[in-house]
A and B are shown apart, each in its own frame.
Chain A
Amino acid sequence: MTHAQEVKEIIQALVKAKKNLRIYPENNPVYARIVDDIHSRITSVLEYTGELSLKIRQHDIFFDGESVYHGDGKEENLALFFFKDGVRELTFNKGLPRNEMEDFLGILAVDFDREALDDDIVTLMWEKDFRFIHYMVDDSILLEDETYEERAVEEAKKASQDNEGILQAYREASSIEAGPVTHVIPITDADLDHMIREIEEDTDDKSIKLIHLLFEMLSQVGDTAEYGELAGFIGSALDFAVRHGNLDAAVYTLERIDEETAGDDCENEVRARLEDLKRFMCSEDFVSGIAEVLDEGTEFDEALLQRFASLLDSDAIPSFIHVLGELRSAQARRAVISILSELGRKDIQSVARGLQDRRWYVVRNIICILRQIGDATAVEHLVRAVRHPDKRVKKEAIRTLGVMGTADVLHVLNECISDEDELVRLTAVRAVGLIGTPLSKKILLDRVADRGFRDKTFNEKREFFEVLSRWRDDDVVALMIRALKRRTIFKRAKNTETRAAAAHGLGMTGSADALEPLMKLKNAKNRLLRDNVQAAIKRITGEREKRS
């Protein structure tokens, strides 16, 4: 194969790569294979040519005076792709390392139509600072006026006058006294250290600085119409900052707004525009920017989130609830929940409105937030959530009522103990126990005494007894002992389960009175009963020894 033929094939491979590399992410093996393929093709040509130089024209790419590529039109024309930004020659040199090949192909694959970049191909290549890929550029495409240099030089020289000035200077030179000479002070190690520190401290994101200056500019406007413009700039700077993971900028802005508007000397117009700005920070637009960076994995520390939420208006609650449903990462949801828990203290009704969201997981998160806020007024909303059709929501609401509720929610929880779903029932039993009033105890005792109790699963029965064991009262212990001893003819298996569950409950009470009836069943034939009895004995005696 001739070199030209090989180069033709390389170019075809480049054309294909340009499309395919857009499809695959960089860590995909196909991506790596494309890079490897082109790299090895180019390397093998370089092996005997030393360099591979391509001349770029609008429709053609030439190698060694021969066209190796022809492209018509504007779309998908590889020659034009380089040509339009002024690239006129592209050279690959022997020794081309794979990483440079990959960077080059990465630039080739950039979709300039879709990405609104401020960089063209030349800038992207320039930034890579290639050592084995060289390019020649025609900079005249940058100019609107190509004859500028010529004219400027001519003009500058034209202003020249005769030589008299110079000769006069020369004549006077000897009589003029030599002026002081500025000594160049040598740069020391300390100066270098100082600079290195400056460069390190010089962060990429200057938005806080800009926001600071925009607040300064508020006091320098020429015309009141500019207030709105400046506030708009602050908003845009903020949007930029937040989308780059800089939440400090938002905290800073909110602090400054509060400061500015606190005094009586704040002009009405300024106050109004800053309030607009604060409203913007509550908008879904702005909040979704925060959501995006959270979802991309940016982590903010808890104190910052709290500070941010504490400064923000409660108007932001609906926006945060909205994004809560769209977040993909658990960590991002945690952050938003944390913000809402803080923000919600200012307006619990707004948070509670989130319970009507159609997405069950959002509702569940809202319940969680209401629990974290811990405000008693949330209870009435939670009572409604207990009737939510989704059992995951139901359980969360029941659990939360257990933590926050008082005796007046017990009737609702009692209803839940009859729910058709076992996990819901179990959660309700636990919640009733958590509330822990005499009525709670009565509800549970009544349930155990009920005829239907025997037919429940062992698991559920055990839960009842375990929850009841928090009351170490005589009547509870007596009831459990009765259940432990009860023998029946019908449904024996079910009855044995109840007895085993009662044994477990007795163990949890730690009551000494239970020891004797338990001992009698120590060697019961039924394994479930025996195991539970033995565990209960061990627990009671163990606890007693510890106490003595």
Chain B
Amino acid sequence: MRERREVDLRLAGKTIINQLGVVLRTGQIHDIDNVAVMDAVDKFIRLVNPVIEAEGLLKIDVIGEFFYINDSRVRYPLEYMLNFDYLLREFQRRELGTVVFGARLETDEIKTFLRVFMSSAYSGTPYEAMEASLEECTNIRIDRLKKITEDGDMDQKKIVKKTYFNAVSFTESVMNRVKAGEKVNMKVAKRVVESMVDLILSEEQLLVGMTAIKDYDEYTYHHSVNVSVLSIAMGQKIGLSRKALTELGLVALFHDIGKMEIPKEILNKPSAFTEEEWSIIRRHPYLGARVLLKLKGFDRTSIRSAVVAFEHHLHYDYSGYPEVRNPVKLDFYTRIITIADQYDAMTSSRVYARVPLAPDRALRIIMERSGSELDPVLCKFFTNMIGVYPVGSLVLLDTREMGLVYECNPLFADRPRVMIIVDGNGRMTEGIIADLTERDTEGRYLKSIVKTLDPNRYRLNLAKYLL
């Protein structure tokens, strides 16, 4: 019996949440008695009642960025993404964290819920408004959205840090082995990437945030890990499977491996490159493909890594290098990784960008290149993932406080979490974290971003704050 239950919930969960999204979206457009709304409501009831009968109740929770049905996390396919995001946003806006249906649902009950849900949008205190209106309706109970505690945050932050540095350390040892002509242990490589995938699936933004710390190293270990993290995060937005995300992450980790064959003196040259030095640097995609094919026997991953290493500077419109005789459509992973690569390269002080760009500037350039150097649809997914103010952006708030963007909010692109480093009186402070989606009792936002500044211009050391 229990087995059946689990399987059913896994399947039903995503359709139920999706249908609730459909109900609320149609309810927003049409009158509540409209046929389209009624159809959506009927369908929702048909989906929900069997579960209520089997389980005694149906509980929908929002925890972090995920929905849970009867305590089991709902995973959803890409085609449901818009409804899921919509629903998540609407719940968070109302500070609504839990909805419980206690017994078999009737059409009128859902209609009441819909009406209450809609009208609460106009209230300054939407949660309280909903709670009051639903008092009569004994079959539907709601609960307030719980804040993820700071303690939990700190543990998570530790794990994120550890995972990130494990990856960097591993990359360093891989690169050194490659240089020495030794074999690379792919088992370990996979494990390292799998733990990054796990983190991105649960706490996407925190690991992405680590990429804002642009630590300089001779052989692009950090860069490799950053590109891997950004690619996985993008892949997750796109809806790749866990296994595909691991492959993407691995391939990304090795994209610049050809640089190991380029003399340090050139890579780390403090002044501008000569034409000849450039031509040597432009060899790294070719060299990378060769290295990867020699690394181990041919298998899916080595083949794909070689393809991506060779293609990653070709560009969507083939305006890049190396020059090829017969251009064919770039590999899907190449197009993802190129965006991550360009973004990280621009925001780091490395060969391609001597002076690092502020994150929001880099993002603007990515958008400018959309459709020419970069795949336009993938660029959209990238900017949606990274937000208007990427992690590491230096921002001035309307409270005259200054802070660093600490974590993006994927649902409210312009309302990230910000670490306050200078208070309203111009004094340095101890890094309190403010969530810009927070509002006062009237429904007004407590803090909003006014403008961004270039952290590089003031030689800000992000590591000091973000680590």
Cα–Cα distance between A184 and B310 once the two chains are bound (Å): 31
**Interface 9-residue window, one of B37-45, B94-102, B162-170, B270-278:** B162-170
Q: Is A142 engaged at the interface, CB distance under 8 Å to the other chain?
A: yes
Determine whether A240 belongs to the interface, using a CB cutoff of 8 Å to chain B. yes
Contact partners of B168 in chain A: CB under 8 A = 148, 152
Q: Looking at the assembled complex, report how far the CB atom of B216 sits from the nearest CB atom of chain A, in whole angstroms.
A: 9
State whether B384 touches A229 (Cβ < 8 A): no
Q: Are A205 and B215 in contact (CB under 8 A)?
A: no
A-B contact pairs, 26 of them (CB 8 A): A117-B187, A123-B187, A126-B198, A129-B242, A139-B191, A143-B170, A148-B165, A152-B168, A152-B169, A156-B467, A169-B458, A179-B360, A184-B413, A187-B380, A198-B332, A199-B244, A201-B332, A205-B300, A206-B300, A206-B307, A209-B307, A209-B328, A210-B307, A217-B310, A233-B290, A237-B298
For residue A173, give the distance in angstroms from its CB to the closest CB of chain B: 5
- Check if A95 sits within 8 Å of B6, measured CB to CB: yes
- Binary B-proximity of A180-213 (CB < 8 A = 1, otherwise 0): 1111111101011011101101101111011011
Stretch of B28-36, B77-85, B121-129 lying at the A interface: B77-85
B463 CB contact (under 8 Å) in A159, A205, A217: A159
Partner of A213, one of B191, B242, B283, B310: B310
Task: Chain B residues near A195: list those with CB within 8 A.
Answer: 78, 238-239, 377, 381
Q: Is B444 an interface residue (CB 8 A)?
A: no
B307 contacts A173, CB within 8 Å? no
A-side contacts of B3, CB under 8 Å: 95, 97-98
Q: How far is the CA of A149 from the CA of B162 in the complex (A)?
A: 7
Q: Which of A129, A149, A202 contacts B166 (CB 8 A)?
A: A149
Interface residues of B (CB under 8 A from A): 2-3, 6-7, 78-79, 81-82, 161-163, 165-166, 168-170, 173, 186-188, 190-192, 194-195, 198, 213, 215, 238-240, 242-244, 283, 286, 289-290, 293, 297-301, 303-304, 306-307, 310-311, 322, 324-326, 328, 331-332, 360-361, 363-364, 367, 377, 380-381, 383-384, 387-388, 394, 396, 402, 413-414, 421-422, 426, 428, 450-453, 455, 457-461, 463-464, 467
User: Does more than half of chain A's interface fall in helix, strand or loop, or is it mixed?
Assistant: helix
> Judging by beta carbons under 8 Å apart, are A216 and B326 in contact?
yes
Q: How far is the CB of A153 from chain B (nearest CB, A)?
A: 5
Q: What's the A-B contact tally at a CB cutoff of 8 Å?
A: 226
Contact between A184 and B387, CB atoms less than 8 A apart: yes
Q: How far apart sit A409 and B54, CA to CA, in the bound complex (Å)?
A: 82
User: How many whole Å from A95's CB to the nearest CB in chain B?
Assistant: 5
> B215 to A127, Cβ gap below 8 A?
no
For the complex formed, measure the closest distance between the CB of B450 and the CB atoms of chain A, giving whole angstroms.
7
Within 8 A of B (CB), among A56-88: 86
Contact call A217/B331, Cβ cutoff below 8 A: no
Contact call A182/B367, Cβ cutoff below 8 A: yes
Determine if A216 and B324 form an interchain contact, defined as CB atoms under 8 angstroms apart: yes
Contact status B422-A157, CB under 8 Å = no
Give chain A residues whose Cβ lies under 8 Å from the Cβ of B301: 118
**Which 3 residue pairs of A and B lie closest in terms of their CB atoms, listed nearest first?**
A156-B463, A178-B451, A149-B165
Determine if A236 is an interface residue (Cβ-Cβ < 8 Å).
yes
For residue A239, which residues in chain B have a CB less than 8 angstroms away from its CB?
A: 298
Residues of chain A within 8 A of B388, CB atoms compared? 181-184
CA distance A191 to B383 in the complex (A): 13
Q: A166 touches which one: B161, B190, B396, B460 (CB < 8 A)?
A: B460
CB-defined contacts of A213 to chain B, threshold 8 Å: 289, 306-307, 310-311
Chain B residue numbers with a CB within 8 Å of A229 are: 290
Residue A262 interfacial (CB < 8 Å): no
Question: Complex Cα distance A191/B376, Å?
Answer: 10
Residues of chain A from 160 to 184 with CB closer than 8 A to chain B in the complex: 160-161, 163, 165-174, 176-184
Cross-interface CB contact of A237 among B161, B191, B303, cutoff 8 Å? B303
A174–B388 Cα gap in the complex (Å)?
Answer: 21
A179 to B388, CA, bound (A): 12
A238-255 contact mask (Cβ, 8 Å, vs B): 1 or 0: 011000000000000000
Verify A157–B461 contact, CB threshold 8 A: yes
CB neighbours (8 Å) of B240 from chain A are 199
